[in-house]
């Protein structure tokens, strides 16, 4: 055929050379070949995703918990963690309390064992001091809110990010976006920024920016809102009967702000909302209506959905460790935190995929999100941290100075009947300092007493504990009567598995009887709601957390060395609404 066509071309060319050339022979066009379609190159995340086995993919969605304390490489606990990384190929690790250097060394060792870099997370609410021994401590979220400055929430996020990344943490389970509108809530309380949805939203947004603008992935929690519960999810499943209109106008407001600010992750809550879920009583963590219908579809969140810890009583006691993991993914979760047994969770999800309960497409969506988060924080180029630089970043003087300033401004003088606090601020005088902490491990009062004595005050001290008996209470009454003014320092704080957050009746009775006989100031280093149990006290000061930095702030407030200017971020009663708080200037 080709030779015939060439012969035709030759006849045409020869004819064109003479004057009597015949008409040109028509040439039929040769059909063109279809253009070659070159598929676009796969992005690195997709290439990695495609290379993973089913079991390896599922492993990327599981994040077990380890302590941050020091351990040798042949320690049984460390060997168990290494097996999670080596054999189960888990996607990440949650690290808990320890020194910054111990945490960093342990994480570096595990990162070096991992085939795919580990995404490391930690609960760092209110600053890294929640988990780092020597980390920077802020006065809880509610204390930050009491200052009235969004910039304080931003700075808390910034410092948390800098210190957290220095030890090898990439994802922080903060900020708390819950609106605390239930005084009996035993598990949120001061972890919330307060009771006003729009104020909480602004502070959540500020902390998200502070964290993520300095390299830390933020997590808004506990979706769709854990502030109006009276039950600890570590023990059982709280049920909130609120309708959609209430959820939409209160609980979801801070989550919308977090999403608008680009928050990387949202953590689900183990709470049931039958009014939104068609009457069903099941945890939000396992509810497609909430995680997919509300969070993904209605709020437009495209980031990582992480579960709250799957070993909590609100989940594991009803669904078991394997089925809870499967249901969470079916509901819309991407990352399974702290399952009771990592292998059981992985096995269950693998079976669910093989049986078709979870589609391969659904699984790949979650795995891709996890891998993208790792790429976003640079884990595929650098997975370990330099141990010799940890001391340059964690608990620095500049960070501590910022925390001290915020803590001092966070104090709220709720009431000062008869001017008992104002009188204390006029100059040195005898006082009795009575302390009560609901946790025996809490160190309370020593820093405050020392600071008062350094300012010239004569201080008699006495401590009570949950185990104190009648003889101790008799001795406490004697000590209180020895001085004209009583200062009662109480630490009643959120504690997982306790189920309550209040003064023991015998302590409340002692405080009220003391206030009936002499001027008494109650200083709360924890829950702000203690006034309802001790209505007889003349002075009530909120100090938010039982830490030395807070005790120093209280000493400065009681001696007149610093202003008292914080305002309530929650409502105590109709007479003490959000924004209440007496303002006292520092002594000249």
Q: How far apart are CA 265 and CA 171, in angstroms?
A: 9
- Residue 190: Cβ within 10 Å count: 29
Instruction: Give Cα separations from 54 to 61, 145, 347 (angstroms).
Output: 12, 46, 11
Q: Are 310 and 324 in contact (CB under 8 A)?
A: yes
Distance CA 431, CA 438 (A): 23
Non-local (6+) Cβ contacts of 508 within 8 A are 533, 534
DSSP H or E stretch at residue 436:
strand 430-437
Per DSSP, the chain holds a count of helices (H) and strands (E) of: 22, 15
Q: How far is CA 196 from the centre of its chain?
A: 19
Beta carbons within 10 angstroms of residue 548's beta carbon:
15
Which of 102, 308, 334, 438 is the catalytic position? Answer: 308
| DSSP class per residue in 299-359 | T---SEEEPSPTTSHHHHHHH-HHHHHHHHHHHT--BEES-S-HHHHHHHHHHHHHTTSS-
Torsion of CA 49, 55, 58, 60, to 10 degrees: -60
Residue located via tokens 């040439």: 27
392 has catalytic annotation: no
Number of other residues whose CB lies within 10 A of the CB of residue 389: 12
Pairing of strands 430-437, 336-337: unpaired
Of 355, 308, 358, residue with least CA distance to 335: 308
* Contact present, 143 and 581 (Cβ < 8 Å): no
Catalytic option among 234, 334, 399, 416: 234
Measure CA 177 to chain center. Answer: 9
Which residues, at least 6 apart from 18, have a Cβ–Cβ distance to it below 8 Å?
Answer: none
Helix axes 100-113 and 76-86, enclosed angle (nearest 10)? 40
Find out whether the peptide bond into 222 is cis, omega within 30 degrees of 0: yes
Sequence-separated (6 or more) residues with CB below 8 Å from residue 133: 97, 98, 99, 100
Catalytic residue check, 308: yes
**Joined tokens for residue 504:** 């023991």
List residues with catalytic annotation. Answer: 234, 308
């Amino acid at each position: 055929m080709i030779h015939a066509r060439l012969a035709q071309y030759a006849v045409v060319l020869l004819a064109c050379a003479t004057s009597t050339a015949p008409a040109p022979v028509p040439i039929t066009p040769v059909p063109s070949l279809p253009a070659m379609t070159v598929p676009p190159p796969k992005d690195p995340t997709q290439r990695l995703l495609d290379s993973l086995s089913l079991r390896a993919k599922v492993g990327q969605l599981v994040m077990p918990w380890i302590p941050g304390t020091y351990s040798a490489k042949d320690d049984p606990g460390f060997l168990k963690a290494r097996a999670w990384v080596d054999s189960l190929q888990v996607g990440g690790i949650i690290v808990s309390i320890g020194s910054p250097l111990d945490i960093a060394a342990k994480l570096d060792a595990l990162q070096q064992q991992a085939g795919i870099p580990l995404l490391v997370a930690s609960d760092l609410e209110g600053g890294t001091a929640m988990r780092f021994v020597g980390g920077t401590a802020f006065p809880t979220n509610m204390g930050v809110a009491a200052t009235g400055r969004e910039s304080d929430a931003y700075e808390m996020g910034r410092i948390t990010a800098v210190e957290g990344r220095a030890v090898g943490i990439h994802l922080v389970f903060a900020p708390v976006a819950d609106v605390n509108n239930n005084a009996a809530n035993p598990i949120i309380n001061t972890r919330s920024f307060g009771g006003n949805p729009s104020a909480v939203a602004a502070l959540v947004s500020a902390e998200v920016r502070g964290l993520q603008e300095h390299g830390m992935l933020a997590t808004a929690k506990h979706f769709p809102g854990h502030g109006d519960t009276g039950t600890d999810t570590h023990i059982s499943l709280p049920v909130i009967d609120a309708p959609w209109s209430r959820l939409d106008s209160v609980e979801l407001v801070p989550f919308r702000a977090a999403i608008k600010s680009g928050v990387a992750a949202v953590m689900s809550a183990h709470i049931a909302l039958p009014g939104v879920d068609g009457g069903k009583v099941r945890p939000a963590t396992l509810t497609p209506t909430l995680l997919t219908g509300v969070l993904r579809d209605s709020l437009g969140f495209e980031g990582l959905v992480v579960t709250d810890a799957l070993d909590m009583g609100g989940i594991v006691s009803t669904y078991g460790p394997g089925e809870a993991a499967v249901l969470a993914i079916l509901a819309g979760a991407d990352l399974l935190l702290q399952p009771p047994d990592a292998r059981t969770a992985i096995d269950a999800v693998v079976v669910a995929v093989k049986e078709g309960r979870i589609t391969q497409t659904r699984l790949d969506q979650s795995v891709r999100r996890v891998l993208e988060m790792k790429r976003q924080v640079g884990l595929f180029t650098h997975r370990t941290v330099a141990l010799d630089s940890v001391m340059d970043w964690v608990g620095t003087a500049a960070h501590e100075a910022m925390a001290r300033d915020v803590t001092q401004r966070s104090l709220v003088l709720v009431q000062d009947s008869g001017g008992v606090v104002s009188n204390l601020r006029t100059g040195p005088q005898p006082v009795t300092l009575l302390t009560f902490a609901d946790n025996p491990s809490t160190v309370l009062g020593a820093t405050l007493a020392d600071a008062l004595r350094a300012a010239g005050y004569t201080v008699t001290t006495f401590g009570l504990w949950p185990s104190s008996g009648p003889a101790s209470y008799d001795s406490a009454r004697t000590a209180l009567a020895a001085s004209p003014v009583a200062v009662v320092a109480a630490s009643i704080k959120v504690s997982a598995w306790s189920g309550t957050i209040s003064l023991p009746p015998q302590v409340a009775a002692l405080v009220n009887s003391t206030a009936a006989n002499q001027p008494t100031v109650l200083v709360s280093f924890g829950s702000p709601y203690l006034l309802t149990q001790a209505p007889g006290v003349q002075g009530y000061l909120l100090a938010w957390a039982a830490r030395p930095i807070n005790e120093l702030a209280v000493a400065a407030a009681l001696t007149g060395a610093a202003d008292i200017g914080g305002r309530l971020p929650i409502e105590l009663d109709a007479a003490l609404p959000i924004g209440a708080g007496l303002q006292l200037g520092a002594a000249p």
